[in-house]
Every structure is written in C-alpha cells, then in structure tokens.
Amino acid sequence: MAETSGTRQVVIIGGGFAGLFAVRALGRAPVQVTLIDRAEHHLFQPMLYQYATGILSEGKIAAPLRELLKRHDNVELVIAEATGIDPDQRRVLARRPLGEPVEFGYDYLILAAGVRQSYFGHDEYAPIAPGMKSIEDARKIRRRVFGAFEMAESEDDPAERARWLTFALVGAGPTGVELAGQIREVATKTLRREYRRIKPEDARVLLFDGGNAPLAMFGPKLSALAARDLGKLGVELHMGSIVTHVDTNGLDVKDHDGKVTRYQAANVLWTAGVEAPPLATAVAKATGAEQDRAGRIVVGKDLSIPGHPEILVTGDVMSLDKLPGVAEVAMQTGLYAGRKVGHLARGQSFDKPFTYRDLGSAAYISRGKAVVSAFKMNFGGFPGWWVWLFIHIGFLTGYRNRIGAVLGWWFAFTRDIRRERAFTIDDMPLVHAYAAPDDHLPGQAGNGAD
C-alpha cells in the first residue's frame, strides 16, 4: 500500500466484528489502514446454524468486505493469510492465496484474527465431525444433514437406515443447543411429508457434553429451562459424557463412572471448544506474550501486549478477565482499539482502560422458544424468542440482510419452509469417506465473531 507522508500506518488482521468496528472508529483518523483477511466476506457466525439447516442463505449472514468498506477511503483490503509478525521491524508477514509471501509495515497493529474449532488434541476427528466456524463448515453440515435423509431413504437395511437418521452433536453450548434443536425441527416439521419410505421424525438427535447441563454458562435456571425444552423437542441429552473416539460409524462416549458406550451414528457434528489460530502462537513467540489454555493472547487493561503498546489484541483471540468469546466483546474491543489508535495518531493521550459492558446473551431453542440473560434478568419461552429475534436482526450487517433474514424466518417459522437446502448427489456423505474432498483438512479459523 502506498504510504502518505506524515500519516500513520495501521494494519488490522481480521474482518470480523472486532476488525470492522476498529475500521469504523478510524474513519476520520489521520491513518492509512490495511485490513488483512483470508476471506472476502464479513460473517455473522452466530447464525451459521440457520444456514446449515436451510433457513437462511449465505448471503443473509455474510456481506462482502469490499462493499462494507467502499466508503472508507483510508482503508485497503488485502486478501491474504497473516502468518506472523516481526515486532522489531514492525512488519506483518503474510501469504497471498497462491502462496506468494508478502509483508506489511505498521505503526500500529490490531489483531482481530478470531478463533478456530478445537478438537482437544484430536484433529483427526475433523474430517469426520465438522465444526461450525465458517461458511465452508456450515455448508458441509448442511450437506450431511439433508444428505443423511436421502441416504436413509435409499437404504433397505433397517439398522443402516437408523444409523443414517442418527445425529450426534458434541458440545452443549449455544451452537450445539441451537443446531440440535434445528435438526429436530427439520425432521419433524420441514421434511415430515417429503419422503415415502422413511419417517423423518424418527431421526434421533443426541447431544453430548462433559458438563452437567446444556447452556451451563447461562446459569442453572435457564439451563434447566433449555434442558426441558430440548427434551420436549425430542433431543436426547447425554450430560456428563466425554467423547473418547469418533469414526465414520459413530462415536464412543465415557460417562462419569468411566463406563464407555458405543453409539452408532452416521452424522457426528462437533460443536465443542475453540482455540486460537497458529497466528496467535506466532505473535506470542515474537513478542514474548503469554497465552491461556486455548492459545489466546493475554493482554493488559488497554488491550495491548505487555512491552508492545503498538500491538492491540481484540475479540476472540484476546484473553482478558475471562471475557466470553461473543460478538459483543468483539465489537466493544474493536471499537476501543480503533479509538485508542486514532487518539495516538493525532498525538493525543489515551489512558482510559477497556471496560466491557455486558448487554446479555441469548440462545435459540426452537420455534417460539429461546433463553435470554440480560440486565440481571433471566427469562425464556415466547418472550425470550422475541428478544432473540430483535437482538439478531440488530447484529446482522446491512438492511438487505436484515429484511432477507426476516423473510426467511417467516417462511420457516410459520409455514415450515426452508428453501436454502440445495445440494447434489456429489455432495452426499458416503459410508466410509465423505464426499467433499476438502473434508479431509482440519478446520481453520474463520472471521466470524471477530
């Protein structure tokens, strides 16, 4: 990027919420911004499960970064993957799509690189049990969910048919709970009259988690409410369960007593755990920064790496005061980082520490049911569902996406229609090796909540 004399150079790694909010805060600052991302779109990760289950198209939850940045004349978007930094020379090391190395100089660096799915040391599970951190991940899950019903329809063996109609989800956080509920709604509502040889409502959805209850982070009241609603929906809860093995035929699960049980399931989906991408480790090694157990970079109250005030870490890849990896944290840290850099670029001091304002959390269970924790209030059911709708409409980028999402919800929630579920025979999962060749690569970090 061409430098302007006297203008500070800012590099932002990641085009998720943290990166975009930093860009917005730098809109009128005397800086030139280079935004680096390995994807050309900004993704609203909390809605990926609705893309995976046919409610929304990818265009409703993802927006082209170049369109979002077209009015920001001081910002240049570069499609590349950041691989490390040289803090002494203040340069970001990156790789373009065809492998060509490239470097970017900076006066200030804002790291908003997001996180990726964690398999807790078992990356060999990734080809069998996809996570859900990117559009590509959700597309794989959509193929497997709707493809499983097709495989069951063409199967004569009752045992094999039952295996194809069994969905095992590992992880009972918001992603696991929301995806489990939607798969049951697909089976019992959307598809219930579309097949001749199978009954889609016979599909089993098994939800496994090592904790004692789903949505434990919402507190005991809402966790119990979620467990009740999931049970009514037909989701089978297996709490206190640790997955010890996954293969194309199913998974082995160990309970608190150490007993291992085998579950036959053709569809294993991984919704448990995240970890920082390799870039975080590279930055930590280069700067001497600490990392937490998930590989996130430990920062000070001003979001900077100790000893490197010019490097700010934001969003999911940041570790500070045990803040959760949610969109609101990414937005607020990105805004803070952008404002701080803007003040410093103008020669002004900025000593105000970052303060997080918790605006609450919400999780969708099923049609007309959600749980909400906000402003010291905990509630669920139909009121929670309406609050969930308004929250997520507000988080979507652009009025077109918001209107499109409302229309998609109207068809899905009032008429049981999910139009966004197209796939071909080449997309269908196979018994011993899934069809998509890229399934054989472990998941990589997306740009979602950050």
Q: φ and ψ at 372, to 5 degrees?
A: -135, 135
| 3-class state of residue 91 by DSSP | strand
Residues of the chain with pLDDT under 70: 1-6, 425-450
Pair of tokens at residue 106: 């900076």
Q: Give me the pLDDT at residue 153, please.
A: 96
Residue-wise pLDDT for 170-226, tens only, equals 999 999 999 999 999 999 999 999 999 999 999 999 999 999 999 999 999 999 999
Place of tokens 């994807």: 39
Q: Provide the CB-side half-sphere exposure for 3 (13 A, CA).
A: 11
Which tokens hold the place of 279? 């870039």
Cβ contact 211:173 at 8 Å: no
What pLDDT does residue 450 have? Answer: 54
pLDDT tens string 11-66: 999 999 999 999 999 999 999 999 999 999 999 998 999 999 999 999 889 999 99
The residue with tokens 């790789």 is 95
Q: 177: which 2 tokens?
A: 């709970």
Give me the catalytic one of 178, 185, 275, 420: 178
304 membership: H or E segment, kind and range:
strand 304-305
Delineate the domains of the chain, giving CATH numbers in brackets: 8-38+80-115+276-345 (3.50.50.60), 123-274+360-440 (3.50.50.100)
> Cβ of 45: how many Cβ atoms within 10 Å?
28
* 178 flagged as catalytic: yes
Rg, C-alpha atoms of the chain: 22
Which of 342, 314, 339, 311 minimizes the C-alpha distance to 109? 311
